[in-house]
Structure 1
Amino acid sequence: MQTLTSRPPVPVHPFKGNGPETFTMARSEGGTVIEADMLLPHRKAYYLLVFVRQNHGRHWADLTPYEHRPNTVYFSEPGQILVKEEPTPFWGTHLEFTPEFVAQHAELRTLPIVQNPHHGHELRLTAAEADTVEALLAQLEAEYQRPGEWQQRMLGAYLTVLLTFLSRLYTAQYAEAEPTPDQRLLRAYQAKVEECFREVHEVSAYATQLHISAGHLSEVIKAQTGRPAIKHLHERLVLEARRLLLHTQQPLKEIAYDLGFQDASYFTRFFKREAGTTPAEYRTNIRKMYQ
């Protein structure tokens, strides 16, 4: 199904490092300064990790609200829709780094918290774990304040240690056994859907990309999840549609085009079949709920 182009429905905030910089960090000791565009729905073109020592308030990651808790790490990957409800005093540290920084430090790409297979966003720490994170952040900050020939390598090394420690906590909080071959195929399919759902709407096309038959892919996905492979694809399309209906003023026709539907009326029928309501009705009702 051909995808038609239109303007981006949600602004994408670029990385704001200086020059070739691909990593930034900032510590706050009770500050409340926040850029106004953070209070509007947006996507980031980079990875974000926020260690909260103390803060009250709430923010949203996609369609999920998160009440801020002390000794908690919040993390997001490029492309998620984020919005903060209001500025509040914050004690903690922000880390931002680009996909290019991850590519330059290959070991980072293998870490669970970077791959984020469970689509998590929040890690709650014990007091001892928070102290460990604080100590690792202090080492990172010391290196960040020391520009020089070796700085990028040292930052990569310290960040690897920090994210390795957080990955240990991630796997404990989102625990599961070693995946079977069928589970790995499920994850591969889900990753492909995440990458291509706007352009590719046929299970057979995903099977081709995964070098297996459509029948085998459908059989495995149904056995692993109890839902057909096409249902996973439809759920991902509906999730993105829900995001855009809630967070943007984009007309329904443009949302349809953005999601690969040439016919807006077909998109409306598809959404109603999958979500039980029309896109227009959903937009009205969800905004009443969260206004």
Structure 2
Amino acid sequence: MIPSGQPSPATRVDASPPRPDDITTLALGDLAEGVEWRRPVLLDADLVVLVTGGHGTAELDFRPLPCRPGTLLRARPGQALRCEAARIDAVVVRWSATALRGLDVDAAADVPAHWQLAGEEADVLRNEVTQLVVDCRRQPDGPAARALVRHRLAVLLRRLALLPPAPAGGDAAGAGPRTENATFRRLRQEVERGYQHTRRVEDYAARIGCSVRTLTRACLAATGRSAKQVIDDRVALEASRLLAATDEPIARIGRRLGFPEPTNFGRFFTREVGLSPGAFRSARGGPAGNGRPPARRG
């Protein structure tokens, strides 16, 4: 599901709602469900993707990530994913938001989005994923089997959380900063709750209980960007996801993100992304023009 607001008529990973304890394994191509990756798909579940063969590129939120055997991707609900599925073989572990309820594991832990496994680390994580796949496919459905699969997933996520930080000065792992100060973490949380309603730094400072200057210092230390830029980045990312992966009318996307006037949304998006909303959608495989929502599936 998209992090906030009503879900749009998007290309989804699954047309039917998952069971509360749903944990499944599938092939990479199954995620695209007939669209053959012509456009990104909006994810409505958490994913771990382990590349087992081939070479190619995956795009996660429009960032190209090189993939080869041993590449691991960690994707989250609301993100836009596109893969060269014809050139990459991978196993996908997919689970719903409540699959880990009651277990002492933080599914939201700061795990790298992209990691190239090597050595013992690769062997251990490959074995964890393989065993999870075996248990998902071979164990008969029942309370004991579901408990086993849930615990397998919890172990896998714990191991991912223990991955070392990205190499100093390098960005190949795609991890980004692994530590952030408390003020910046709070801002990110509040932005997730409120980016559709306000882009004012003053509003977030009031919610957190600090000054605008403190927020700006925290953002500059964590990202090199100001608090206002961090907030606008999040709005632009959500707009990009919806434009690329859905046929929702551009004006409606703008209203959902707090722009009652389409012209204001167009100016904001062009300033942040460098393309107009229509040009960005067309470049990502969507229809030119404003677009019309397709019929809902399922």
Structure 1 residue matching 2:263: 3-state secondary structure: helix
Choose from 151, 157, 160 the match for 1:163: 157
- Residue 265 of structure 1 corresponds to 263
Most deviating of 154-163 and 15-24:
15-24
Q: Which of the two has greater helix per residue? A: 1
- Residue 126 of structure 1 corresponds to 118
- Residue 87 of structure 1 corresponds to 86
Checking the alignment, whether the CA contact within 8 Å between 2:10 and 2:247 is kept in structure 1 is no
1:138 to partner: Cα distance = 3.7
The change in CA–CA distance for 1:175 and 1:46 in structure 2 (over 3 A counts) is closer
- Residue 200 of structure 1 corresponds to 198
The change in CA–CA distance for 1:137 and 1:286 in structure 2 (over 3 A counts) is closer
- Residue 146 of structure 1 corresponds to 139
How far apart in 1 are the matches of 2:154 and 2:223?
33
The change in CA–CA distance for 1:262 and 1:54 in structure 2 (over 3 A counts) is same
How far apart in 2 are the matches of 1:177 and 1:233?
20
How far apart in 2 are the matches of 1:16 and 1:286?
26
How far apart in 1 are the matches of 2:270 and 2:189?
25
Structure 2 residue matching 1:137: 3-state secondary structure: helix
Equivalent residues in 2 for 1:97-108, closer than 5 Å:
97-108=95-106
1:49 to partner: Cα distance = 1.0
Checking the alignment, whether the CA contact within 8 Å between 1:43 and 1:81 is kept in structure 2 is yes
Q: TM-score, normalised by structure 1?
A: 0.76
Q: TM-score, normalised by structure 2?
A: 0.74
The change in CA–CA distance for 1:213 and 1:135 in structure 2 (over 3 A counts) is same
Checking the alignment, whether the CA contact within 8 Å between 1:73 and 1:122 is kept in structure 2 is yes
What CA deviation, in whole Å up to 9, does each residue of 1:27-73 have, x standing for no partner?
Answer: 79xx9997313524221211111111212343322212334311111
Equivalent residues in 2 for 1:1-291, closer than 5 Å:
8=8, 10-14=10-14, 21-26=21-26, 35-37=33-35, 39=37, 40-88=39-87, 90=89, 92-109=90-107, 111-113=109-111, 120-144=112-136, 145-147=138-140, 148-169=142-163, 171-172=165-166, 174=175, 179=180, 183-222=181-220, 225-276=223-274, 278-280=276-278, 282-283=280-281
The change in CA–CA distance for 1:51 and 1:189 in structure 2 (over 3 A counts) is same
1:22 to partner: Cα distance = 1.1
The residue identity in structure 2 corresponding to 1:54 is: G
How far apart in 1 are the matches of 2:154 and 2:31?
29
How far apart in 1 are the matches of 2:143 and 2:285?
51
The residue identity in structure 2 corresponding to 1:146 is: Q
Checking the alignment, whether the CA contact within 8 Å between 1:123 and 1:170 is kept in structure 2 is no
1:163 to partner: Cα distance = 1.9
The change in CA–CA distance for 1:203 and 1:165 in structure 2 (over 3 A counts) is same
1:80 to partner: Cα distance = 0.5
Structure 2 residue matching 1:217: 3-state secondary structure: helix
Which residues of structure 1 form unaligned runs of 5+?
Answer: 114-119
Question: Which one has the largest radius of gyration?
Answer: 1
How far apart in 1 are the matches of 2:57 and 2:114?
13
Checking the alignment, whether the CA contact within 8 Å between 1:52 and 1:70 is kept in structure 2 is yes
Structure 1 residue matching 2:155: 3-state secondary structure: helix
- Residue 289 of structure 2 corresponds to none
How far apart in 1 are the matches of 2:73 and 2:213?
39
1:122 to partner: Cα distance = 1.5
How far apart in 2 are the matches of 1:235 and 1:175?
16
How far apart in 1 are the matches of 2:16 and 2:93?
12
How far apart in 2 are the matches of 1:130 and 1:141?
16
Checking the alignment, whether the CA contact within 8 Å between 1:38 and 1:84 is kept in structure 2 is no
1:75 to partner: Cα distance = 1.9
1:239 to partner: Cα distance = 2.6
Structure 1 residue matching 2:106: 3-state secondary structure: helix
Checking the alignment, whether the CA contact within 8 Å between 2:48 and 2:75 is kept in structure 1 is yes
The residue identity in structure 1 corresponding to 2:23 is: F
